[in-house]
Structures are given as structure tokens and as C-alpha cells.
Amino acid sequence: MAQKNYSVEGMTCGHCEMSVQEEIMEIPGVNEVTADHNTGAVAVSGEGFTDDQVSAAVAEAGYTLKA
């Protein structure tokens, strides 16, 4: 299982972390997501997911994936 690390802008609290985590967890192949609103760090573990899928999930949650 691979882990990829992303940086997300706009999360201000634990609710925001939950929103991001929930959307990313819906991507097929994703097994675990951790988000930290203090740093913007989002770690995604699983197989077969793409950066585009993560970017779309983050946008769906209302936040922005840093390039």
C-alpha cells in the first residue's frame, strides 16, 4: 500500500479536516486519510488512486489542493 502526501489550503478546524477526509475516502482504492488543518498536510494511503481524483475530492469538500 502506497502513501502520498498532499497540501491543502483553507482548512481552519477539525470539521474541515473531517470534510476533506470523508470526500477523499470515497475514492476507490483509498484506505486511510489523515488531514491536519494546522499544516494543511493530507496523507492518503491506498492503491490505484490518482492525484486528479484527490484534487477533485478536495475541491468537492470546498478546499484547494496546492499544486
3-32 binders of a copy of itself (CB under 8 A): 12-13, 15-16, 18-19
From the CB of 32, what's the least distance to a copy of itself, in Å? 22
Long-range pairs, 41-50, Cβ under 8 A, ≥24: 41/5, 41/6, 41/7, 41/8, 42/5, 42/6, 42/7, 42/8, 43/3, 43/4, 43/5, 43/6, 44/3, 44/4, 44/5, 44/6, 45/1, 45/2, 45/3, 46/1, 46/2, 47/1, 47/2
- Comparing CB distances to a copy of itself, the nearer of 22 and 55 is 22
Q: Residue 38 Cβ, how far from a copy of itself at the closest point, in Å?
A: 12
Interface with a copy of itself (CB under 8 A) = 12-13, 15-16, 18-19
